[in-house]
Amino acid sequence: MLNAAVIGLGWRGRTISGRMQASQEMRIMRAVNLFPEKQGDYTAKYGVPVTGDYTAVLAGPDIGAVILNTPNNLHTAQIVQVAHAGKHVVCEKPVALKVADARRSRSAVTRADPRHESRTPL
């Protein structure tokens, strides 16, 4: 079982969290909300602790994957940070807003784990 953190608790983050409850392969262990006013009932509903500090989640040895559901302009920097932390990364689309940023993201995950999967040709 792969332990994951979900970053971003908007509609997409909550949808993924709900679907992950039935997964036999991955489970959400922590959640990060960049906008505390939007946290709502997440912990009560999904039984997952929420923090506002995603760098602490990246440092956690219990987290093997990070699912990014954040604003598009944050994706590149976050993908690079997740890759440097040695975690698997799942990012909602678009992976980046500029081709150069997409290439930077791909380069970071390739260096971190050459077995990565990309569904976006660059």
Give the count of domains, the chain: 1
The three-class DSSP label of residue 23 is: coil
pTM of the model: 0.88
Q: Would residue 119 count as lying in a domain?
A: no
Residue-wise pLDDT for 17-71, tens only, equals 999 888 999 999 999 997 777 777 898 999 999 999 889 999 999 999 999 999 9
Q: Would residue 122 count as lying in a domain?
A: no
The percent of residues above 90 in pLDDT, for the chain, comes to 67
Band (pLDDT 50/70/90 cuts) for residue 120 is low
Rounded to the nearest angstrom, the gap between the alpha carbon of residue 29 and the centroid of all alpha carbons in its chain is 12
Residues 41-54 as b/e (b if ≥16 CB within 10 A, e otherwise) read: ebeeebebebbeeb
What is the average per-residue pLDDT within 67-85?
94
Distance, in Å, from the CA atom of 112 to the CA atom of 109, rounded to the nearest integer, reads 5
Q: Would residue 120 count as lying in a domain?
A: no
CATH number at residue 88: 3.40.50.720
Which residue range(s) make up the domain with 45? 2-112
